[in-house]
Chain A
Amino acid sequence: MHMADALISPAVGGTMWAVTAGLIGYCSKKVKNEMDDQKIPLMGVLGAFIFASQMINFTIPITGSSGHLGGGMILAILLGPHIAFLTMASVLTVQALFFADGGLLALGCNIFNLGFFPCFIAYPLIYKTFVKDADTNYMRSNSIDFKKTERKILAGSIIGAIVALQMGAFAVVIETLFSGISELPFTTFLMLMQPIHLAIGVVEGLTTAAVVLFIWKARPEILSSASSSSPIGRTPIFKVVVGLAAAALITGGALSWFASSNPDGLEWAMFKTAGVEELESPDGIHTSLSAIQEKTAFLPDYGFKSGESNELSESSAESVKVELGTSVSGVVGGILTLIFAVAIGFALRQKKSN
Chain B
Amino acid sequence: MSNLQNNLFDIFYIDTLACRQSWIHSLDPRAKVLTTLIFVGIVVSFDKYEIAMLIPFFIYPAVAIALADLPFVYLAKKMLLLLPFAFFIGIFNPLMDNKTLITFDLKDIVDLMEFIGFKENIGKMGTIDISGGWVSFLSIMIRFCLTVGAALILISTTGFDAVCLALQRFGVPRPFIVQLMFLYRYMFVLIDEASRMVRARSLRTFDNSNQMRFGIFISMVGQLLLRTMDRAQRIHLAMCCRGFEGDIQMLRAINFGVPETLFTAGWTSLFVILRLYNIPVKLGMMIENLLLS
Contacts and interface: CB of A to CB of B under 8 A. Distances in A.
A215 B10 CA distance: 32
Interface stretch (A41-49, A129-137, A230-238, A278-286): A41-49
Contact of A57 (B189, B191, B210): B210
Contacts of B109: 328
A49 B232 CA distance: 11
B55 to A, nearest CB: 5
How big is the A interface, by class? 35 or more
Residue in B44, B55, B59 with the greatest tally of chain A CB atoms within 10 Å = B44
A24 B172 contact: yes
B239 A5 contact: no
A295 B276 CA distance: 8
A103 B198 CA distance: 31
Interface in A152-191: 176, 180-185, 188
A348 B66 contact: yes
Interface stretch (A120-128, A141-149, A242-250, A333-341): A333-341
A320 B221 contact: no
Interface SS majority for chain A: helix
B187 A302 contact: no
B287 A25 contact: no
Interface string A35-78: 00110111111111101111111110000001001000000000
Interface residues of B, number: 135
A340 B151 CA distance: 22
Contacts of A180: 48
B102 A181 contact: no
Interface SS majority for chain B: helix
B1 A105 contact: no
B266 interface: no
Contact of B55 (A104, A338, A352): A338
A330 B133 CA distance: 18
Given A59-B213, A87-B179, A337 B44 contact: no
A331 B1 CA distance: 44
Given A41-B236, A86-B179, 6 more contacts: A27-B175, A43-B182, A90-B180, A104-B37, A214-B219, A267-B276
Interface of A: 2, 4-10, 13-14, 24-25, 27-29, 31-32, 37-38, 40-49, 51-59, 66, 69, 86-87, 89-91, 93-94, 96-101, 103-105, 176, 180-185, 188, 206-207, 210-211, 214-215, 218-219, 222, 264-267, 270, 292, 295, 299-300, 302, 314, 317, 320-321, 324, 326-334, 336-338, 340-342, 344-349, 352
29 contacts: A4-B147, A6-B141, A7-B90, A25-B173, A32-B174, A40-B182, A41-B239, A42-B229, A45-B186, A47-B186, A52-B228, A55-B195, A56-B194, A56-B217, A56-B220, A58-B211, A69-B221, A87-B179, A97-B154, A103-B40, A103-B148, A104-B36, A188-B92, A218-B222, A266-B41, A295-B277, A314-B99, A333-B281, A338-B55
Interface of B: 1, 4-5, 7, 10-11, 14, 36-37, 40-52, 55-56, 58-59, 61-63, 65-67, 69, 78-79, 82, 85-86, 89-90, 92-93, 95-97, 99-105, 108-109, 112, 132-133, 136, 140-141, 143-144, 147-148, 150-152, 154-155, 160, 163, 172-176, 178-187, 189-191, 193-195, 197-198, 209-214, 216-222, 224-226, 228-229, 231-233, 235-236, 239, 244-246, 272, 275-285, 287-288
